[in-house]
C-alpha cells in the first residue's frame, strides 16, 4: 500500500474489506476490494502531503511508486535508514536491532550512520536491559563492521535505486569510497 497508483487503480478505501494473498515469500498483497461489503462510510485514501512525523512536505518523484519525506533529519527517516544500515545485507551489526537503534535515535545519540561509530560505550552499558557484557559485544560488532567490504557500505547507505547488485558494481568500478565520492 505504499504505491498510491495501485491504491487508486484498485479503489482501496479506508474501512474497506479486502482479499489478501501471500505474494512471493511473505509480502501480503491486496488482490481486490470486496465492494459488496461497502457501507458508504469508507473514505478514499490520499497520501499525506506532509510527513506525519516531522511535518515536512512529502515528495513523489516522476515514475516512482513511493512518496517520501524530504527532510533528511526527520526522525522517522533516520530510524528507517539506520535499520537498513545495520542490517545483515549491509553493515551486519549484530545486536543492534530495530528497538535498540530506535532508542539511540530517541536519546539523541544517533543522528546519522557515523554516530554509531562514536557511541559512548559506558553510557550504552548503563541502559536498562543492556549491561556491560551486552555493550561490549555490541561494541565489538560495531568495530567488526568497519571491516565489511565497500559494497556493503554502499548498499547500507540507502541510496535510491542502489541495491546489493548495483552496490557491488560500484565497488568493483571505484575501489574506494573517496573515488566514488569524487565521481560525477
Task: Return the H-helix or E-strand segment holding 165.
Answer: helix 164-174
Instruction: Give the pLDDT confidence of 67-126 residue by residue, as tens digits.
Output: 899 998 899 999 999 999 999 989 999 999 999 999 999 999 999 999 999 999 999 999
Residue 48, phi then psi, degrees to nearest 5: -65, 140
pLDDT at 25 over 80: no
Query: What's the farthest any 2 CA atoms get from each other in the chain?
Result: 60
**Cα separation, 105 vs 111, whole angstroms:** 6
Mean per-residue pLDDT, 174-184 = 93
Q: Does residue 145 sit in helix, strand or coil?
A: helix
Q: ∠ CA(134), CA(140), CA(145), 5° rounding? A: 125
What pTM did the predictor assign? 0.79
Give the closest residue to 149 by CA, choosing from 169, 118, 182, 171.
171
pLDDT score for 171: 96
- Cell readout for 171 is 565497488
Instruction: Give the pLDDT confidence of 110-167 residue by residue, as tens digits.
Output: 999 999 999 999 999 999 988 899 999 999 999 999 999 999 999 999 888 898 999 9
Amino acid at each position: 500500500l505504499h504505491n498510491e497508483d495501485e491504491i487508486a487503480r484498485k479503489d482501496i478505501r479506508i474501512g474497506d474489506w479486502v482479499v489478501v494473498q501471500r505474494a512471493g515469500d511473505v509480502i501480503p498483497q491486496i488482490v481486490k476490494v470486496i465492494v459488496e461489503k461497502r457501507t458508504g462510510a469508507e473514505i478514499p485514501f490520499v497520501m499525506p502531503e506532509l510527513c506525519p512525523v516531522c511535518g515536512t512536505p512529502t515528495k513523489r518523484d516522476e515514475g516512482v511508486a513511493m512518496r517520501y519525506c524530504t527532510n533528511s533529519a526527520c526522525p522517522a527517516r533516520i530510524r528507517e535508514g539506520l535499520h537498513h544500515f545495520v542490517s545483515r545485507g549491509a553493515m551486519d551489526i549484530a545486536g543492534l536491532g530495530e528497538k535498540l537503534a530506535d532508542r539511540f535515535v530517541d536519546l539523541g545519540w544517533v543522528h546519522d550512520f557515523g554516530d554509531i561509530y562514536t557511541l559512548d560505550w559506558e553510557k550504552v552499558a548503563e541502559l536498562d536491559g543492556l549491561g556491560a557484557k551486552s555493550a561490549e559485544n555490541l561494541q565489538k560488532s560495531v568495530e567488526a563492521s568497519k571491516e565489511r567490504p565497500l559494497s556493503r557500505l554502499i548498499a547500507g547507505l540507502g541510496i535510491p535505486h542502489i541495491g546489493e547488485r548495483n552496490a557491488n558494481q560500484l565497488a568493483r568500478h571505484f575501489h574506494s569510497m573517496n573515488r566514488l565520492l569524487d565521481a560525477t
